[in-house]
Chains A and B, each alone.
Chain A
Amino acid sequence: MQSASTDVAARAIGIIDQFKGKEGPLLPILHELQDEFGYVPQETLPLIAHALNISRAEVHGVFSFYHDYRDHPAGRHVLKLCRAEACQSMGGDALADRARQLLGIDWHGTTADGAVTLEPVYCLGLCACAPAAMLDGEVIGRLDADQLDEIAVEVRL
């Protein structure tokens, strides 16, 4: 059996090879790695650097610029609450407090059972339907306390 790290490297190299010929391949590779592993394993960054003939520093710079990329696994579900101005003005603050209370975690935290990770997000482009949220990639408009309570239960099932 292959060791875990060789396995990660082999899968990563497969993804990198698939994208490295494309124009501006770095972001697509990072996306694909995150899709594959649920996060971007940090040991894959030097592999990307080598394949694209750029420095480790550059890959790290790009990776760390985007909050969407994570360097460790998230919970089974990811709940993002919009914290930007429009949503704040429509009661976002209260919802945010409620979410943290319900789940018993702070921003970027994951519940002890690994069920859900809570993240702030700055604008989902749904200002017209504020306050907005995103659960596992699905956007939710006009979020209210009841819906949030339901989500909190649902994600722990």
Chain B
Amino acid sequence: MSLVHEIDYGTPASLSEKMVTLTIDGSEVTVPEGTSLMRAAMEAGIQVPKLCATDMVDAFGSCRLCLIEIEGRNGTPASCTTPAMEGLVVHTQTKRLKDIRKGVMELYISDHPLDCLTCAANGDCELQDMAGAVGLRDVRYGYEGDNHVFAKNEGVSNDRWMPKDESNPYFTYDPAKCIVCSRCVRACEEVQGTFALTIEGRGFSSRVSPGMHEHFLDSECVSCGACVQACPTATLTEKSVIQIGQPEHSKVTTCAYCGVGCSFKAEMRGEEVVRMVPYKDGKANRGHSCVKGRFAYGYSTHKDRILNPMVREKITDPWREVSWEEAYKHVANEFRRIQYQYGRNSVGGITSSRCTNEETFLVQKLIRAGFGNNNVDTCARVCHSPTGYGLKTTFGTSAGTQDFDSVEHTDVVMVIGANPTDGHPVFASRLKKRLRKGAKLIVVDPRRIDLVRSPHISAAQHLQLRPGTNVAVVTSLAHVIVTEGLFDEKFIRERCDWEEFQDWASFVSSPEHSPEAIEELTGVNPQTLREAARLFATGGNGAIYYGLGVTEHSQGSTTVMAIANLAMATGNIGRKGVGVNPLRGQNNVQGSCDMGSFPHELPGYRHVSDESTRDIFDKLWGVKIQDEPGLRIPNMLDAAVDGTFKGIYIQGEDILQSDPDTKHVAAGLEAMECVVVHDLFLNETANYAHVFLPGSTFLEKDGTFTNAERRINRVRKVMSPLNGYADWEVTQNLAKAMGLNWNYTHPSQVMDEIALTTPSFAGVTYDLLEKEGSVQWPCNEKAPLGTPIMHINGFARGKGKFIRTEYVATDERTGPRFPLLLTTGRILSQYNVGAQTRRTDNVMWHEEDRLEIHAHDAENRGIRDGDWVKINSRSGETTLRALITDRVSPGVVYTTFHHPTTQANVITTDFSDWATNCPEYKVTAVQVGASNGPSDWQVQYDEQARQSRRIKVLDAAE
């Protein structure tokens, strides 16, 4: 094994289709017009020495090392900034160039420490490489002069010297090693789009400065790691590299955080991760990362991880460690007993959106073939189930229509109920890059999210609607488009049913859907809404990106369909730069849905009532699959409270913290007789479990994740599972204990079974993924290399379907007792219930959940910034600290749900989407008031959790 090597071409690729041919060092090379001479040389295998150039950012021309000579031209131009032209004859190595380069290197090295042997970048330093490349043997200037290297010069303190900045938990900034190439500054600007770095001063005084000469942690830096990746020296270095040393081998794998699905190189030393470096060939992220994927992997070796299976009779007992065999036997016996006693349908399971496709497939197979029922559900229930339903109904496929590259061709972006800079940061960076190049942005969100206005980008329109009024607003956008005649008649006639369109058009055209009519309801200025509609309909390629702010409502599915209507009416489907793009929350939430995790659907979104589909699985698995849908998560919990549902196998989901109405979830779990939790940590749900099966992290197994763009990405095992088994092995062993004859020896065999049974995956094999890197489903005979953009010449369902979207107010309403609307979301540094990120240094950015409240509402209640406040709803109450901000409108409050101590879901109600039961997290009527400390529930819960996590210490009998 060795490091996965990536070629640095020095400058970004040119997209020109016109080719030019030139001669470099005697070799002919043909490149697209606009390619730099540096890149052209590299493509011919000739590496021109360079320091300030790297292909993630535009050419800068400052290091003066990459000079070349061109026949017939004067001087020695920089190869990074000189474009290739037809017929040029270029020399990269002449006596004159050698002398200049050596001289330049001497200057660099005269102000650089000579501590290579003890330097963290030793072996991975471009300055070192270039010193070698130019044949530097001597530095005529010496090292005694003015410098940034030494704290003292001859006993006198050196004003130019600056100490290391170690404020960021993941990397250090050592100004003494900086060569001021600006790569970090440019990466922060061009790749990440945060503009947190600058070069302060000028000439010899120039230094990299985060913010206004601040520490990294105090600056605008979001710790995405792009600067560290760009740094050619040890100036910006991962602390893990400083501690461990340089990696010796690496494997390409996929991040296990959000639905962007970034590809990373896991750079290893033995079985220890040295660092995660974003992979340039990763088609979702194109070499970029965020603070979570890049740095927050430490949870995988956190001391809280449970490594041995545990069992207990009652949830009030302490845990007892047992052997794997005993655990499997216990679960198998219990589930069989329960089924014997309470019937076949009294048990079920939940698949995980964090686990691989293969693992998810096996869990639903265990339930369908082993338990013999369809009581399988997944966490997508509580996030994007309306996406599946809405897009399937309108377009015919339960998934987003584009790849992420598509954003580079978009002219107008509409972001609805999503906060990409926090939730999907790498996509946000790609979006911001496009916005800086001139695309227009419309934001539909109750909060003023960062995209509305942050350095160098701002939304053309922000429709700051009242939570719960999405349908009214999106329908009203359609009203403007239809009544002002801005719809794309040709597209609609060709691709959709004209009759249906006319019916829908007459529906949206009615005056009660006009922006003016809905203003009182939604709080959106009618003029702003009209302008947004006109911009979207007439601004060129229009793309809609949406998140949980759309789906997690009582009308989640309706909004998804309203969005689909809008895209069809404006002809924004079926090509690059357009489309409807759900930003999926978790790494494999798309995949877990694809794999048949819903109680009514077999893999590939085929209904269980469909006999021919059941037949495929019946024959292969030798069973008879039930033809009736099973129970959804909320139904399982209801049934448990009613006493008819008694056992559950939960793989990698913390329903107690993430599902709405915590008290109801707790009551449901408490009523069961065998709760099996398969997870990394003793999560909140495990407090109610009878069996705990240790899980494995994404670093410890092979498999695939499917991201928000339907991209199937490989996950590769880089270390042995600390708990002994990958999750798919645990599920398999459990299946065996229940008498199923499963003999998979590698996840690729599971994928083969998926391909065999599921038409949209028919062409997927590990060999193909190895060759292509990744593919987007559908991948089959018609599209052997997958499908980046869907519905190109027509919709998957035939004709696109327009559906009337009547706004129905949620039953959750404000009133005198609960006058404020609470909406929830997430923050950049934390992920979901925080089980992983809370166990990393990411807590430095967000150590607690805060309640965002407008100054007006705070003042009325005598609340000051930072005060403890009590928040209660019809469901319950909790306490947390207030954060006074104008990001939310008066009447709206906002919080995150990353910390179990907050238990934000104690407050959320059990209202849910009419079609899919997706909970209405985004709207809860609440009251907020001053508080002295934790609520009774929080105190009680903490005590219960503490009791529940006890593990009986075994006698030290050896």
- Chain A residues near B (Cβ < 8 Å): 42, 45-46, 49, 53-61, 64-65, 67
In the assembled complex, the Cα of A67 lies from the Cα of B205 at a distance in Å of 11
Choose among A46, A54, A57, A59 the residue with the greatest number of B CB atoms under 10 Å from its CB.
Answer: A57
| CB-based nearest A residue for B207 | A64
In the assembled complex, the Cα of A45 lies from the Cα of B213 at a distance in Å of 12
In the assembled complex, the Cα of A70 lies from the Cα of B951 at a distance in Å of 63
| CB-based nearest B residue for A49 | B455
Within 8 A of A (CB), among B205-226: 209-213, 219-220
**Chain B contact residue count (CB 8 A cutoff):** 22
Could you say which of B201, B211, B220 contacts A64, with CB atoms under 8 Å apart?
A: B201
In the assembled complex, the Cα of A58 lies from the Cα of B210 at a distance in Å of 10
CB distance from B471 to the nearest CB of A (A): 32
Chain A residues lying within 8 Å of B196, measured Cβ to Cβ, are 55, 57
Could you say which of A42, A46, A53, A61 contacts B200, with CB atoms under 8 Å apart?
A: A61
CB distance from B502 to the nearest CB of A (A): 44
In the assembled complex, the Cα of A65 lies from the Cα of B210 at a distance in Å of 15
**Does B649 interact with chain A (Cβ within 8 Å)?**
no
Could you say which of A54, A56, A65, A67 contacts B211, with CB atoms under 8 Å apart?
A: A56
Interface of B is mostly: loop
In the assembled complex, the Cα of A54 lies from the Cα of B197 at a distance in Å of 12
Could you say which of A42, A53, A59 contacts B453, with CB atoms under 8 Å apart?
A: A53
B456 touches A57 (CB 8 A): no
Given A55-B196, A57-B197, are A42 and B455 also a contact pair (CB < 8 Å)? Answer: no
Residue-wise, chain B 450-472 has the 8 Å CB interface mask toward A (1 for contact) of 00011111100000000000000
In the assembled complex, the Cα of A46 lies from the Cα of B218 at a distance in Å of 14
Could you say which of B194, B198, B454, B456 contacts A61, with CB atoms under 8 Å apart?
A: B198
If A42-B212, A55-B194 are given as contacts, then 4 extra A-B residue pairs at C-beta distance below 8 Å, sorted by A number, are: A53-B458, A54-B195, A59-B212, A61-B200
Within 8 A of A (CB), among B158-182: none
Chain B residues lying within 8 Å of A67, measured Cβ to Cβ, are 202
CB distance from A66 to the nearest CB of B (A): 8
B201 touches A57 (CB 8 A): no
In the assembled complex, the Cα of A60 lies from the Cα of B210 at a distance in Å of 10
| CB-based nearest B residue for A46 | B212
Chain A residues lying within 8 Å of B219, measured Cβ to Cβ, are 56-57
In the assembled complex, the Cα of A59 lies from the Cα of B212 at a distance in Å of 8
**Does B100 interact with chain A (Cβ within 8 Å)?**
no
CB distance from B156 to the nearest CB of A (A): 15
In the assembled complex, the Cα of A61 lies from the Cα of B220 at a distance in Å of 14
A57 touches B458 (CB 8 A): no
Chain B residues lying within 8 Å of A53, measured Cβ to Cβ, are 453-458
Chain B residues lying within 8 Å of A59, measured Cβ to Cβ, are 212
Given A55-B196, A55-B220, are A60 and B209 also a contact pair (CB < 8 Å)? Answer: yes
Interface of A is mostly: helix
Chain A residues lying within 8 Å of B210, measured Cβ to Cβ, are 57
CB distance from A23 to the nearest CB of B (A): 16
In the assembled complex, the Cα of A56 lies from the Cα of B220 at a distance in Å of 8
B212 touches A45 (CB 8 A): yes
| CB-based nearest B residue for A42 | B212
**Does B151 interact with chain A (Cβ within 8 Å)?**
no
In the assembled complex, the Cα of A57 lies from the Cα of B458 at a distance in Å of 18
19 contacts between A and B (CB under 8 A): A53-B456, A53-B458, A54-B195, A54-B456, A55-B455, A57-B197, A57-B198, A57-B209, A57-B210, A57-B211, A58-B195, A58-B455, A60-B198, A60-B200, A60-B211, A61-B199, A61-B209, A64-B201, A67-B202
Chain B residues lying within 8 Å of A54, measured Cβ to Cβ, are 195, 455-456
CB distance from A115 to the nearest CB of B (A): 26
Chain A residues lying within 8 Å of B202, measured Cβ to Cβ, are 64-65, 67
Residue-wise, chain B 69-112 has the 8 Å CB interface mask toward A (1 for contact) of 00000000000000000000000000000000000000000000
In the assembled complex, the Cα of A57 lies from the Cα of B182 at a distance in Å of 13
| CB-based nearest B residue for A45 | B212
CB distance from A51 to the nearest CB of B (A): 11
B212 touches A57 (CB 8 A): yes
In the assembled complex, the Cα of A56 lies from the Cα of B210 at a distance in Å of 9
B195 touches A65 (CB 8 A): no
